[in-house]
Homo-oligomer: A and B are copies of this chain.
Amino acid sequence: MGKGGEVSGDGAKVEGENMAAWLVAVNTLKIQPFRLPPLGPHDVRVRMKAVGICGSDVHHLKTMRCAHFVVKAPMVLGHECAGVIEEVGSEVKSLVVGDRVALEPGISCGHCKYCKGGRYNLCRSMRFFGSPPVNGSLANQVVHPANLCFRLPENVSLEEGAMCEPLSVGIHACRRANVGPETNVLIMGAGPIGLVTMLAARAFGAPRIIMVDVDSYRLSVAKSLGADGFVKVSTNNQDVDEEVIQIQQAMGNDIDVSFDCAGFSKTVSTALNATRAGGKVCLVGMGCNEMTVPLTPAAAREVDVIGIFRYKDTWPLCLEFLRTGKIDVKPLITHRFGFSQEELVEAFEVSARGGDAIKVMFNL
C-alpha cells in the first residue's frame, strides 16, 4: 500500500502527532491522526507546507469515487503538494534536511512493461496520493520516495511547488500533442486544467492560443493570463457548426492542435471539427464516459485524437519554467486556507463552487 497508515485511536490530537484530512464518508472530511510508516532507506519525511485542491479531490468527496477508483475505507485526500524535508533515509544522497521540495504523487512499480518502456504513468500498480486505496498528502507530514521529491530553486515558492502537479498535466499534454513554435493552439475550457495547458503551450512556444468557455469570467482570466483571443460558447449541441466558424475566425489561421479540457461531447465535437487536416485533438482530464462525436469526418482528415493520463517526467521542466519565469502560476491561486477543521470544510466548498475559485491552496 501507500506510504501512510490508518487513524490511531480515538482521534484526539497528541502534540507532535501527525494529522491529516481524512475522507471518512460522502461529503465528510475530518482532521484526524495519520500514522506514518517507518522511513525506508530511499525515503524522506516531508513536512507539508502547501497543498492544493484538485477537481478529483472534490469528486472523491462528493461521490466516493472517480472513474473506476472507488473509496472503500477512510482515505486521506490531496496530492498537489510541496514541503520541507525533515528526515532522510540512510541511502538518500540527493536531498538533505531543510531542502524545500515539490512532490510527484505517483509511485510506479519499475518492473512492468509500461515502466520499462518509459510510460510509467500507465503503470497498473501505480500508488498515487489520494487515489484509493492510497492515502493522500493533505497532512502535516508524509513519507515519500526521495526520487519523487524535487528540490525547489531559491526563487520558487512552496505554493508554486504545489502547483507543479496541475501544471504537469498541461506540460504532458503539450508534449504528447507536439506543441511548438509552429502550432496554433485551441483550448476548450478555461478552468484550472485549461489554464495550465495554456501556460504550458505558451512556454512551449505556441504562437497563438485561443480559449473557449461558456463562462465570461473564466475567459477574462484566460485573457489576463495571456490568451491571444477567446470565444464564448453555449452548451447547445446545435451550435457546434457556428462556433467552429467563430473559433476559426478568432484564430485567423489553421488550428494545428486542440486541447479539450472540458470533456463534453460538444466540446470534443467542436475541437474535432475546428482542427485542420493532419492536426491533433488532445483529450485532457476526466470527461463524460460515453461521447457522441463526429469521429469519422475527423479521421478522414487524419485528425488524430491523443489521450492524456496524468504525466510522466515533468517536474524538472515545470520547476525550470517557474524558475526562469517562463511560466507564472501564482495568479491561479485564488483562495488560501489554513489547516483546521472549519477551514478544511470551507476550502472544499469554495473549490467545489467553481466560479471565481481557480486553485484553492492550503498553507500548513
The answer to whether B67 touches A278 (Cβ under 8 A) is no
Q: How many copies does the complex hold?
A: 2
B-facing residues in A29-82 (Cβ within 8 Å): 67
Stretch at the interface among A189-197, A209-217, A306-314, A336-344: A306-314
Residues of B within 8 A of A298 (CB): 307
The answer to whether A283 touches B309 (Cβ under 8 A) is no
The answer to whether B289 touches A296 (Cβ under 8 A) is yes
Residues of B within 8 A of A12 (CB): none
Known: A290-B293, A290-B294, A295-B283. A304 touches B304 (CB 8 A): yes
Query: Which chain B residue has the least Cβ–Cβ distance from A304?
Result: B306
A109 touches B (CB below 8 Å): no
The answer for the CA separation of A305 and B304 in the assembled complex, in Å, is 6
A interface size (C-beta, 8 A): 37
**B-contact bits for A277-305, CB 8 A (1 contact / 0 none):** 11000010011111111111111111111
Partner of A304, one of B293, B301, B307: B307
A263 touches B (CB below 8 Å): yes
A111 touches B (CB below 8 Å): no
Chain B: minimal CB distance from A119 (Å): 5
Known contacts A287-B299, A290-B295, A304-B306, then 12 further A-B pairs from the complex at CB < 8 Å, ordered by chain A residue = A119-B278, A176-B302, A277-B309, A286-B300, A287-B296, A290-B293, A299-B305, A299-B306, A300-B308, A304-B304, A304-B305, A305-B305
The answer for the CA separation of A307 and B304 in the assembled complex, in Å, is 6
A163 touches B (CB below 8 Å): no
A268 touches B (CB below 8 Å): yes
The answer to whether A308 touches B302 (Cβ under 8 A) is yes
Residues of B within 8 A of A119 (CB): 277-278, 302
A114 touches B (CB below 8 Å): yes
A122 touches B (CB below 8 Å): yes
The answer to whether A289 touches B278 (Cβ under 8 A) is no
Residues of B within 8 A of A301 (CB): 122, 307, 309
Residues of B within 8 A of A287 (CB): 295-296, 299
Partner of A302, one of B292, B300, B307: B307
Query: Which chain B residue has the least Cβ–Cβ distance from A260?
Result: B299
**B-contact bits for A297-335, CB 8 A (1 contact / 0 none):** 111111111111100000000000000000000000000
